[in-house]
Structure 1
Amino acid sequence: MVQAKFARVDGRLIHGQVATGWSNSVGINNIYIVDNPTANDDFMKMIYTNLQNTYSFGIKIYTVDEVVKEWNDNQFGSDKVMLLFKDVNHAYETRNAGVPFDLLNLGGSPKTPDNKFVADSVALTEDEFNKLNSLASEHNMDIFFQTMPSASKKKLNEVKY
Protein backbone atom coordinates (compact mmCIF):
# COMPACT_ATOMS: atom_id res chain seq x y z
CA MET A 1 0.00 0.00 0.00
CA VAL A 2 1.19 3.50 -0.80
CA GLN A 3 1.62 5.57 2.32
CA ALA A 4 3.65 8.37 3.78
CA LYS A 5 7.37 7.55 3.74
CA PHE A 6 7.91 9.02 7.19
CA ALA A 7 5.90 10.66 9.98
CA ARG A 8 7.33 12.86 12.70
CA VAL A 9 6.10 14.85 15.69
CA ASP A 10 8.18 17.97 16.26
CA GLY A 11 6.86 21.00 18.11
CA ARG A 12 9.11 23.26 16.03
CA LEU A 13 7.84 21.80 12.75
CA ILE A 14 10.42 22.66 10.07
CA HIS A 15 13.91 23.55 11.21
CA GLY A 16 17.44 22.57 10.21
CA GLN A 17 17.28 19.02 11.58
CA VAL A 18 14.05 18.22 9.75
CA ALA A 19 15.08 20.02 6.60
CA THR A 20 18.49 18.45 6.16
CA GLY A 21 18.77 15.34 8.31
CA TRP A 22 15.43 13.62 8.06
CA SER A 23 14.35 14.72 4.60
CA ASN A 24 17.58 13.42 3.05
CA SER A 25 17.63 10.16 5.00
CA VAL A 26 14.05 9.14 4.17
CA GLY A 27 13.93 10.24 0.54
CA ILE A 28 10.97 12.60 0.44
CA ASN A 29 10.04 15.31 -2.02
CA ASN A 30 7.29 16.95 0.05
CA ILE A 31 6.65 17.70 3.68
CA TYR A 32 3.00 17.85 4.62
CA ILE A 33 2.59 19.86 7.81
CA VAL A 34 -0.60 18.62 9.47
CA ASP A 35 -1.59 21.12 12.13
CA ASN A 36 -5.00 22.77 12.37
CA PRO A 37 -3.83 26.07 13.95
CA THR A 38 -1.00 26.49 11.43
CA ALA A 39 -3.25 25.62 8.47
CA ASN A 40 -5.74 28.25 9.61
CA ASP A 41 -3.11 30.98 10.02
CA ASP A 42 -2.36 32.65 6.67
CA PHE A 43 0.78 34.36 7.98
CA MET A 44 2.32 31.12 9.31
CA LYS A 45 1.34 29.27 6.13
CA MET A 46 3.18 31.91 4.09
CA ILE A 47 6.29 31.59 6.26
CA TYR A 48 6.41 27.80 5.99
CA THR A 49 5.59 27.59 2.29
CA ASN A 50 8.27 30.21 1.51
CA LEU A 51 10.83 27.86 3.11
CA GLN A 52 10.46 25.50 0.17
CA ASN A 53 12.47 27.99 -1.90
CA THR A 54 15.42 27.17 0.39
CA TYR A 55 15.13 23.39 0.39
CA SER A 56 14.92 20.59 -2.15
CA PHE A 57 11.38 19.61 -1.20
CA GLY A 58 7.92 21.11 -1.36
CA ILE A 59 5.95 22.14 1.71
CA LYS A 60 2.18 21.85 1.96
CA ILE A 61 0.10 22.72 4.99
CA TYR A 62 -3.12 20.96 5.91
CA THR A 63 -5.68 20.60 8.63
CA VAL A 64 -6.36 17.01 9.65
CA ASP A 65 -9.55 17.02 7.56
CA GLU A 66 -7.72 18.41 4.52
CA VAL A 67 -4.91 15.82 4.62
CA VAL A 68 -7.49 13.04 5.01
CA LYS A 69 -9.28 14.38 1.91
CA GLU A 70 -5.96 14.60 0.02
CA TRP A 71 -5.26 10.97 0.92
CA ASN A 72 -8.76 9.79 0.05
CA ASP A 73 -8.78 11.68 -3.27
CA ASN A 74 -5.45 10.51 -4.68
CA GLN A 75 -3.23 8.80 -2.05
CA PHE A 76 -0.90 11.85 -2.20
CA GLY A 77 -0.37 11.41 -5.96
CA SER A 78 3.31 11.25 -6.89
CA ASP A 79 4.44 13.00 -3.70
CA LYS A 80 6.90 11.13 -1.49
CA VAL A 81 5.60 12.49 1.78
CA MET A 82 6.87 13.17 5.24
CA LEU A 83 3.90 13.89 7.51
CA LEU A 84 4.99 16.45 10.06
CA PHE A 85 2.85 17.06 13.16
CA LYS A 86 3.29 19.69 15.84
CA ASP A 87 1.86 17.33 18.47
CA VAL A 88 0.79 13.77 19.16
CA ASN A 89 -2.91 14.64 18.99
CA HIS A 90 -2.75 15.62 15.31
CA ALA A 91 -0.82 12.43 14.48
CA TYR A 92 -3.37 10.35 16.39
CA GLU A 93 -6.35 12.00 14.66
CA THR A 94 -4.77 11.69 11.22
CA ARG A 95 -3.94 7.99 11.56
CA ASN A 96 -7.31 7.12 13.05
CA ALA A 97 -9.04 9.01 10.22
CA GLY A 98 -7.48 6.57 7.76
CA VAL A 99 -4.24 8.15 6.53
CA PRO A 100 -1.78 5.24 6.63
CA PHE A 101 1.67 5.47 8.14
CA ASP A 102 3.34 2.63 9.97
CA LEU A 103 6.05 4.49 11.84
CA LEU A 104 6.08 7.62 13.93
CA ASN A 105 9.21 9.44 15.02
CA LEU A 106 9.05 11.78 18.00
CA GLY A 107 11.80 14.32 17.76
CA GLY A 108 10.88 17.22 19.94
CA SER A 109 8.02 18.49 22.01
CA PRO A 110 8.48 21.24 24.55
CA LYS A 111 8.11 20.96 28.31
CA THR A 112 4.97 22.63 29.70
CA PRO A 113 3.42 22.61 33.18
CA ASP A 114 1.09 19.80 32.00
CA ASN A 115 3.65 17.30 30.71
CA LYS A 116 6.96 15.65 31.54
CA PHE A 117 10.01 14.45 29.66
CA VAL A 118 9.83 10.79 28.67
CA ALA A 119 12.85 10.83 26.34
CA ASP A 120 15.46 13.30 25.13
CA SER A 121 13.71 16.48 23.98
CA VAL A 122 10.24 14.90 24.13
CA ALA A 123 7.78 15.92 26.84
CA LEU A 124 4.32 14.36 26.80
CA THR A 125 1.12 14.44 28.78
CA GLU A 126 -0.24 11.16 30.09
CA ASP A 127 -3.02 11.39 27.48
CA GLU A 128 -0.48 11.77 24.65
CA PHE A 129 1.55 8.84 25.98
CA ASN A 130 -1.63 6.72 26.08
CA LYS A 131 -2.50 7.76 22.50
CA LEU A 132 0.95 6.65 21.33
CA ASN A 133 0.45 3.26 22.98
CA SER A 134 -2.96 3.03 21.33
CA LEU A 135 -1.47 3.78 17.91
CA ALA A 136 1.23 1.17 18.48
CA SER A 137 -1.22 -1.55 19.44
CA GLU A 138 -4.17 -0.76 17.14
CA HIS A 139 -2.12 -0.05 14.00
CA ASN A 140 0.98 -2.14 14.70
CA MET A 141 2.93 1.11 14.44
CA ASP A 142 6.65 1.46 15.06
CA ILE A 143 6.94 4.47 17.39
CA PHE A 144 10.34 5.76 18.41
CA PHE A 145 12.11 8.76 19.91
CA GLN A 146 15.07 10.07 17.92
CA THR A 147 16.14 13.65 17.32
CA MET A 148 18.30 12.99 14.22
CA PRO A 149 19.01 9.97 12.03
CA SER A 150 22.51 9.77 13.53
CA ALA A 151 21.24 9.98 17.15
CA SER A 152 20.40 7.00 19.33
CA LYS A 153 16.89 5.65 18.99
CA LYS A 154 14.50 4.67 21.78
CA LYS A 155 11.38 2.60 21.13
CA LEU A 156 8.09 3.50 22.77
CA ASN A 157 8.16 0.33 24.87
CA GLU A 158 11.53 1.42 26.31
CA VAL A 159 10.12 4.54 27.96
CA LYS A 160 7.75 4.91 30.89
CA TYR A 161 5.37 7.65 31.81
Structure 2
Amino acid sequence: MIKVIRVDHRLLHGQVVFSWTKFANIERVIVIDTATANDDFKKMSLKLAKPEDIKLNVFSVDAAIEKIDRIKALDDNIMLLFENVTELSKFIDAYGPVEEINYGLIPSKDGAKRFSNAIYLLPEEVELTKKMCDQGIKISMQQVPSSNKELLNNLI
Protein backbone atom coordinates (compact mmCIF):
# COMPACT_ATOMS: atom_id res chain seq x y z
CA MET A 1 0.00 0.00 0.00
CA ILE A 2 1.35 3.41 -0.96
CA LYS A 3 1.58 5.52 2.19
CA VAL A 4 3.66 8.49 0.99
CA ILE A 5 4.33 10.00 -2.42
CA ARG A 6 7.05 12.65 -2.26
CA VAL A 7 8.96 14.88 -4.65
CA ASP A 8 12.39 15.74 -3.30
CA HIS A 9 15.30 16.44 -5.61
CA ARG A 10 17.65 14.91 -3.00
CA LEU A 11 15.76 11.60 -3.19
CA LEU A 12 16.76 9.33 -0.29
CA HIS A 13 18.42 11.45 2.40
CA GLY A 14 18.24 12.11 6.14
CA GLN A 15 14.73 13.61 6.28
CA VAL A 16 13.30 10.75 4.26
CA VAL A 17 15.25 8.01 5.98
CA PHE A 18 14.75 9.16 9.55
CA SER A 19 11.49 11.11 9.54
CA TRP A 20 9.16 9.99 6.79
CA THR A 21 9.93 6.27 6.85
CA LYS A 22 9.38 6.09 10.61
CA PHE A 23 6.31 8.36 10.56
CA ALA A 24 4.53 6.24 7.94
CA ASN A 25 6.01 2.88 8.98
CA ILE A 26 7.56 2.53 5.51
CA GLU A 27 8.88 -0.92 4.58
CA ARG A 28 9.80 -0.20 0.95
CA VAL A 29 11.01 2.92 -0.84
CA ILE A 30 10.55 3.03 -4.59
CA VAL A 31 12.64 5.75 -6.24
CA ILE A 32 11.19 6.69 -9.61
CA ASP A 33 13.74 8.76 -11.48
CA THR A 34 15.05 7.97 -14.93
CA ALA A 35 18.45 9.65 -14.47
CA THR A 36 19.09 7.76 -11.23
CA ALA A 37 17.87 4.45 -12.66
CA ASN A 38 20.47 4.82 -15.41
CA ASP A 39 23.34 5.76 -13.08
CA ASP A 40 24.98 2.84 -11.26
CA PHE A 41 26.85 5.15 -8.86
CA LYS A 42 23.66 6.94 -7.79
CA LYS A 43 21.87 3.61 -7.31
CA MET A 44 24.75 2.30 -5.17
CA SER A 45 24.67 5.50 -3.09
CA LEU A 46 20.95 5.10 -2.47
CA LYS A 47 21.43 1.49 -1.36
CA LEU A 48 24.07 2.64 1.12
CA ALA A 49 21.81 5.44 2.43
CA LYS A 50 18.78 3.29 3.18
CA PRO A 51 18.18 1.60 6.54
CA GLU A 52 18.85 -2.14 6.58
CA ASP A 53 15.22 -3.02 7.27
CA ILE A 54 13.82 -1.05 4.30
CA LYS A 55 13.59 -2.51 0.81
CA LEU A 56 14.62 -0.27 -2.07
CA ASN A 57 13.72 -0.27 -5.74
CA VAL A 58 14.97 2.24 -8.30
CA PHE A 59 13.10 2.51 -11.60
CA SER A 60 12.94 4.84 -14.56
CA VAL A 61 9.51 6.40 -14.90
CA ASP A 62 8.74 4.16 -17.89
CA ALA A 63 9.78 1.00 -16.03
CA ALA A 64 7.68 2.06 -13.03
CA ILE A 65 4.67 2.59 -15.28
CA GLU A 66 5.15 -0.93 -16.69
CA LYS A 67 5.18 -2.24 -13.10
CA ILE A 68 2.11 -0.36 -11.81
CA ASP A 69 0.05 -3.53 -11.32
CA ARG A 70 2.91 -5.14 -9.37
CA ILE A 71 3.37 -1.99 -7.27
CA LYS A 72 -0.35 -1.90 -6.48
CA ALA A 73 -0.22 -5.58 -5.45
CA LEU A 74 2.63 -5.17 -2.93
CA ASP A 75 1.72 -5.72 0.73
CA ASP A 76 4.50 -3.45 2.01
CA ASN A 77 3.95 0.09 3.27
CA ILE A 78 5.46 1.99 0.36
CA MET A 79 6.94 5.41 -0.20
CA LEU A 80 7.22 6.57 -3.81
CA LEU A 81 10.02 9.08 -4.19
CA PHE A 82 10.42 11.31 -7.27
CA GLU A 83 13.19 13.75 -8.15
CA ASN A 84 10.95 16.02 -10.23
CA VAL A 85 7.36 17.02 -10.94
CA THR A 86 7.53 16.03 -14.63
CA GLU A 87 8.17 12.34 -13.93
CA LEU A 88 5.73 12.39 -11.01
CA SER A 89 2.99 13.72 -13.28
CA LYS A 90 3.73 11.16 -15.98
CA PHE A 91 3.53 8.35 -13.42
CA ILE A 92 0.30 9.68 -11.85
CA ASP A 93 -1.29 9.94 -15.32
CA ALA A 94 -0.69 6.20 -15.74
CA TYR A 95 -1.35 5.19 -12.11
CA GLY A 96 -4.55 7.13 -11.60
CA PRO A 97 -5.57 9.62 -8.95
CA VAL A 98 -4.11 9.38 -5.48
CA GLU A 99 -5.18 11.17 -2.31
CA GLU A 100 -2.09 13.25 -1.54
CA ILE A 101 1.38 14.09 -2.82
CA ASN A 102 4.06 15.73 -0.70
CA TYR A 103 6.37 18.31 -2.23
CA GLY A 104 9.47 18.23 -0.05
CA LEU A 105 12.29 20.12 -1.76
CA ILE A 106 12.19 21.47 -5.29
CA PRO A 107 15.09 23.93 -5.56
CA SER A 108 15.13 27.37 -7.12
CA LYS A 109 16.09 27.66 -10.77
CA ASP A 110 15.91 30.41 -13.39
CA GLY A 111 12.28 31.23 -14.19
CA ALA A 112 10.84 29.38 -11.19
CA LYS A 113 8.16 30.85 -8.92
CA ARG A 114 8.60 30.54 -5.15
CA PHE A 115 5.76 28.81 -3.28
CA SER A 116 7.61 28.20 0.01
CA ASN A 117 11.15 28.24 1.36
CA ALA A 118 11.70 24.86 -0.27
CA ILE A 119 9.36 24.78 -3.28
CA TYR A 120 10.14 26.61 -6.53
CA LEU A 121 8.24 25.63 -9.67
CA LEU A 122 8.87 26.43 -13.31
CA PRO A 123 5.78 27.40 -15.35
CA GLU A 124 5.50 23.88 -16.82
CA GLU A 125 5.72 22.38 -13.30
CA VAL A 126 2.96 24.76 -12.15
CA GLU A 127 0.76 23.52 -15.02
CA LEU A 128 1.45 19.85 -14.19
CA THR A 129 0.71 20.55 -10.53
CA LYS A 130 -2.55 22.33 -11.42
CA LYS A 131 -3.55 19.31 -13.49
CA MET A 132 -3.02 17.01 -10.49
CA CYS A 133 -4.93 19.44 -8.24
CA ASP A 134 -7.79 19.40 -10.76
CA GLN A 135 -7.90 15.60 -10.35
CA GLY A 136 -8.68 16.15 -6.66
CA ILE A 137 -5.17 15.35 -5.42
CA LYS A 138 -4.01 17.28 -2.36
CA ILE A 139 -0.51 18.66 -2.93
CA SER A 140 1.09 19.38 0.42
CA MET A 141 4.34 21.19 1.14
CA GLN A 142 6.04 19.74 4.20
CA GLN A 143 9.70 19.11 4.95
CA VAL A 144 9.24 16.63 7.80
CA PRO A 145 6.13 15.08 9.37
CA SER A 146 6.48 17.24 12.51
CA SER A 147 6.53 20.52 10.53
CA ASN A 148 3.51 22.51 9.44
CA LYS A 149 1.72 21.14 6.37
CA GLU A 150 0.60 23.72 3.83
CA LEU A 151 -1.56 22.89 0.83
CA LEU A 152 -0.12 24.03 -2.47
CA ASN A 153 -3.62 23.64 -3.98
CA ASN A 154 -4.58 26.92 -2.28
CA LEU A 155 -1.63 28.80 -3.78
CA ILE A 156 -1.39 27.53 -7.33
Answer yes or no: same fold by TM over 0.5: yes
Query: For the residues of structure 2 that align with 1:111 and 1:143, how far apart are their CA atoms?
Result: 18
Q: Which residue of 1 aligns with 2:54?
A: 57
Q: 2:36 aligns with which of 25, 35, 38?
A: 38
Query: Quick check: 1:10–1:106 contact (8 Å CA) kept in 2?
Result: yes
Query: Map of 1:34-113 to 2, 5 A cutoff?
Result: 34-52=32-50, 54-73=51-70, 75-98=72-95, 101-113=98-110
Structure 1 residue 74 displacement after superposition:
5.5
5+ unaligned residues in a row in structure 2: which ranges?
none
Structure 1 residue 153 displacement after superposition:
1.2
Query: Quick check: 1:28–1:80 contact (8 Å CA) kept in 2?
Result: yes
Residues 1:131 and 2:106 aligned together? no
Q: Which residue of 1 aligns with 2:4?
A: 6
SS at structure 1 position matched to 2:2:
coil
- The TM-score, its normalising length taken from structure 1, stands at 0.88
Query: Quick check: 1:5–1:82 contact (8 Å CA) kept in 2?
Result: yes
Residues 16 and 73 of structure 1: CA distance in aligned 2, closer, same or farther (over 3 Å): closer
Q: Which residue of 1 aligns with 2:14?
A: 16
5+ unaligned residues in a row in structure 1: which ranges?
none
Q: 1:148 aligns with which of 129, 144, 155?
A: 144
Query: Quick check: 2:30–2:81 contact (8 Å CA) kept in 1?
Result: yes
Runs of 4+ in 1 over 6 A off after TM superposition: none
Structure 1 residue 42 displacement after superposition:
1.2
Q: Tell me the matched-pair count.
A: 156
| One-letter amino acid of the counterpart of residue 87, structure 1 | N
Structure 1 residue 69 displacement after superposition:
2.1
Spell out, residue by residue over 1:87-146, the C-alpha distance to the aligned partner (whole angstroms, 9 max, x if none): 1111100000126532100010111113132112111111111211111212x2111111
Structure 1 residue 15 displacement after superposition:
1.1
Query: For the residues of structure 2 that align with 1:93 and 1:58, how far apart are their CA atoms?
Result: 24
Residues 130 and 90 of structure 1: CA distance in aligned 2, closer, same or farther (over 3 Å): same
Structure 1 residue 76 displacement after superposition:
4.5
Query: For the residues of structure 1 that align with 2:94 and 2:74, how far apart are their CA atoms?
Result: 19
For the aligned residues, what is the CA RMSD? 1.7
Query: For the residues of structure 1 that align with 2:97 and 2:64, how far apart are their CA atoms?
Result: 11
Of all paired residues, the percent bearing the same amino acid is 28
